[in-house]
Structure 1
Amino acid sequence: MARRNELGSIASGLIGSFNSRNNDVDGYWGIGKLHKFVENVSKKEVSIELLSGNISPKTNEFDSLIKFYRNRLEAHLKARSIPNSWIVAVEFTALFETEYEKKHHYWRSGLGKAYKLKCDILDDNGRHHIAYAYNNSRPHDPTRETRSCREVGF
């Protein structure tokens, strides 16, 4: 029997995948592309509401990414027999160029500046199921990166 506390595990799985180097947007690392997208914005933050498909700041560049993670969410819910009606909202937040946190960021473990990801699943009882991920990134630069040639099932 499905239980709402499983939504925390789903949030953790989604944010782990979102943080992964396998998170591609047009063959490049999705996090680097998001970082580039807010590079010239004072508040270096991107919010994606997965169910509605809304992204802030507004753009259509990440529609395939949103669709991919919406499908992943549905697959996780189906695998655990969790009804869609239990989910009110699912929000990804990416905050770039954050302060280094010794507890979460490993010094010199990656190139670029520290970032923080959050996945917040709000259930129908008003409870938030939150998972975080931390890493380092640089804004996307196609002259320094190799484009992935693998098939992506968006």
Structure 2
Amino acid sequence: MSRSACVGFSMPRRKQFKGICHDILESFVSRYNDLDGYWALGQYATFLTESGQRELRLQLQRGSTLSECSKFSASATYYQGAVLRLMDANEMPHSWFADAYIRFSMVGPTNALCEVEIVSDLGKAYHCDRRIDVRPHNPLREHWRGGNFGPSNQMGQ
């Protein structure tokens, strides 16, 4: 095959997981990250405050939560699908996806640390994190977002 025939063709690389981590984190901290019509992160903050737990961990390989709140399994399932959709868009084989999680922890009264980590089949971990301001969920102060608007975890879209 001539060199000119290969122009524009690129092979997928595992290092693309770094970009996928970034994209997942951007979606996760977005104000459009809904769960039951309200900002998911505010609900996570309330859960941690009320339960006394230090962190909420979404296990993306299995699409489950590592906490006692099954309500958040919809979020884990949504982000598991998001990782797979991004891998498909990058023509990456699913066999490269060994493990992944999103960790949400409160690091102050109104500050949270959000972390995404994806581990490849070769054992290399790709990581992204961000601190954000978040207040606990209060339905009296927030507007319920109905319909199909933004990446709505509870609807799996």
Runs of 4+ in structure 1 deviating by more than 2 angstroms, as ranges, are 40-44
Identical aligned pairs, as a percentage?
24
Which stretches in structure 1 are left out of the alignment for 5+ residues?
100-111
Q: Do residues 150 (structure 1) and 147 (structure 2) align?
A: yes
Q: Which amino acid aligns with 1:8?
A: K
Which protein is richer in helix relative to its size?
2
Which stretches in structure 2 are left out of the alignment for 5+ residues?
1-10
Q: Do residues 13 (structure 1) and 10 (structure 2) align?
A: no
Deviations 1:71-126 (A, max 9, x none): 21111000001111111101100011x15xxxxxxxxxxxx611110000011111
> How many residues in Structure 1 have an aligned counterpart in Structure 2?
141
1:86 to 96, 105, 119: 96
Q: Which amino acid aligns with 1:137?
A: V
Q: Hey, what's the Cα distance between the residues in 2 that align with 1:26 and 1:43? A: 22
Residue 70 of structure 2 aligns to a residue whose secondary structure is: coil
Q: Do residues 47 (structure 1) and 57 (structure 2) align?
A: yes
Deviations 1:12-33 (A, max 9, x none): 0001100000000000001001
Counterparts of residues 1-154 of structure 1 (less than 5 Å)? 1-96=11-106, 98-99=107-108, 113-151=110-148, 152=152, 153-154=155-156
Once structures 1 and 2 are overlaid, which stretch shifts more, 45-54 or 76-85?
45-54
C-alpha displacement at 1:57, in angstroms? 1.5
Q: Which amino acid aligns with 2:77?
A: K
Q: Hey, what's the Cα distance between the residues in 1 that align with 2:121 and 2:79? A: 20
Deviations 1:29-53 (A, max 9, x none): 0100111111123343101111112
Q: Hey, what's the Cα distance between the residues in 1 that align with 2:104 and 2:63? A: 15
Say if 1:16 and 1:133, in contact at 8 Å, map to a contact too.
no
Q: Counterpart in 1 of 2:7?
A: none
Q: Which amino acid aligns with 2:103?
A: T
Deviations 1:123-144 (A, max 9, x none): 1111100011221111111111
With the length of structure 1 as denominator, give the TM-score of the two structures: 0.86
